[in-house]
Amino acid sequence: MLVKETVIVIPKKIRLPALKNSLHEASSTGASASIGELYAVPFAKEVGAQPVQIGLLTALSGVVAPLAQLYGTRLLEHGGNRKKIVLTFTLLQALMWLPIAALAIALHFGYLANASEVIFIILYTLLIALGNITFPAWFSWIGDLVPENERGKYFSLRNRIIGIVGLIVVLAGAFVIDIFKTRGYLLLGFAFLFAIAATFRLYSLIVLKSQYAPLFQTKPSDHFSFISFLKRMDNFGKFTIYLALFNAALMIASPFFAIYMLEELKFSYVTLMLVTLSSTLVYLLTIPLMGRLSDRYGNKRLLQIANVAFIFSPLPWMIIRDPILLIIIPQLFAGVANAAFVIGTTNFTYDSVSPRHRPLCVAYSNIMVGIGTFVGALLGGFILKYYNSGTEISYVFLFGIAAFLRFLVAFIYLPKIKEIKPVKKFPSPDLNALHPTRALQHDLTWIKKVFRTT
């Protein structure tokens, strides 16, 4: 799994247009994905889903996604063309939005009400599966196009584009939903948004068709079983265990912030999305810095930053009810955490795994992450159901448990992971301490020095 093999050399005149094309595709993909990610749970609530069912919605997505990625890897191993795989299942995912929109329309007119939660969970899970079948092929494809020494810079730019477009679309969607709601057509508003998501995904398909894809071949000897992957506890294996456990800790609370704002804090959809997307704005502002830090100081440092911020992000929710303060305090932590985590985990994987093993290793790793997501989301749902039955105190308890488990996982497992590539010494030598609690002591000094050196 280590990166010690011939690197694919693509002429600059071919590679640069392909990378620009991918940035173009990122905008439409980000718009579609943002609608799905941020409006799925509110829609589930509106059709009557209970906390356990909402937890199940997230949990199933977390399990089905990596299993779909494993299927996508199998397609590659059996001689599948990367570009063809991506195009085929991007089309199917785009079309999958249409029955979800049709469900919302049917519910508005009084049909399928008795089974609406189950139908939506099934349809949304299929949507997630179809999208994730493309991921191993796309991850391998884009990995061959981006030079190793520019990954942090490029992926921070791509993710920033996704975030900006997603931010605009979701904010516009919140106003659309509130307008439909005030006129008594809330479910039709959701149907409209889901149709927009389908349109954006179809546009990304058109853009992907014109993108250059280098030749990719696998050998039977490149395959190894999931059991072999688990037994080989090398650095990437330890990284995978950490990801699985940390995602479990994240998912205990993450699916329920939106429900807490709607049910307990009584926020409107516009307020809900303003609070939710404020972390995205912080993410967009900080992700360029994270990309530079990745290229210069390595990806483990980003994981440390993400862990510290993720540990503190649920705590203010236990006492703050004002939307402005929620935006200023916990969402600031969440935005920084997401920026560091996305760049850190993506680039650590590219650095740790050879190109021919990437699709399979990513699929196996994400199976472990999916298991963690499944367990965490279900546990969160059961806590809300059985600890004071979904009252405000149960949410406070949930957020406290989430913060503690995030700390515990980071404290135990993050020190076991080693940086792969040669990196520069971090500005503050004291931050070489592996535990996030020690790193926290030097945050203010570190921030000043990073901005001076970047």
Give the C-alpha distances (Å, rounded to integers) separating 22 from 131, 158, 212.
17, 8, 10
pLDDT value for 131 = 92
Q: What is the pLDDT of residue 56?
A: 85
d(CA 224, CA 318): 45
Whether the CB-CB separation of 57 and 41 falls below 8 Å is answered with yes
> Which pLDDT score is estimated for 57?
86
Other C-beta atoms closer than 10 Å to the C-beta of 347 total: 26
What type of residue is 128? I
What would the two tokens of residue 106 be? 């049917």
Question: What pLDDT shows up at residue 427?
Answer: 60
Per-residue pLDDT tens digits for 383-428: 888 876 657 888 999 999 999 999 999 999 888 898 877 666 656 5
Whether 353 and 232 have beta carbons less than 8 Å apart is answered as no
Q: What is the distance, to the nearest Å, from the Cα of residue 143 to the centroid of all Cα atoms in its chain?
A: 18
- The pLDDT value recorded for residue 81 is 85
What parts of the chain have a pLDDT lower than 50? 1-6, 429-454
What is the maximum span of the chain, computed from C-alpha positions, in angstroms?
64
Half-sphere exposure of 88 (CA within 13 A, CB side): 10
Angle at the Cα of 425 from the Cα atoms of 419 and 426, rounded to 5 degrees: 90
Query: Would you list the domain boundaries of the chain?
Result: 12-211+227-453
Give CA–CA dist 234/227, Å, rounded: 14
CA-CA distances (angstroms) from residue 108 to 102, 105, 296? 10, 5, 53
Closest CA to 251 of 70, 11, 54: 54
Pair 121, 53: CB distance under 8 Å = yes
pLDDT at 390: 59
pTM of the model: 0.71
Residue type present at position 332: L
pLDDT tens column, 309-364: 999 999 999 999 999 999 999 999 999 999 999 889 988 888 888 777 777 888 88
Annotation: CATH topology of 12-211+227-453:
Growth Hormone; Chain: A; (1.20.1250)
| pLDDT the model gives residue 221 | 58
47's CB contacts (< 8 A; 6+ apart) are 107, 116, 117, 120, 187
d(CA 302, CA 282) in angstroms, rounded, equals 16
Q: What SS3 string covers 325-363?
A: HHHHCHHHHHHHHHHHHHHHHHHHHHHHCCHHHHHHHHH
Q: How far apart are CA 273 and CA 43, in angstroms?
A: 13
DSSP, collapsed to helix, strand or coil, labels residue 314 as: coil
HEC states along 100-168? HHHHHHHHHCCCCHHHHHHHHHHHHHHHHHHHHHCHHHHHHHHHHHCCHHHHHHHHHHHHHHHHHHHHH
| Number of Cβ atoms within 10 Å of the Cβ of 160 | 21
How far apart CA 262 and CA 51 sit, in angstroms, is 13
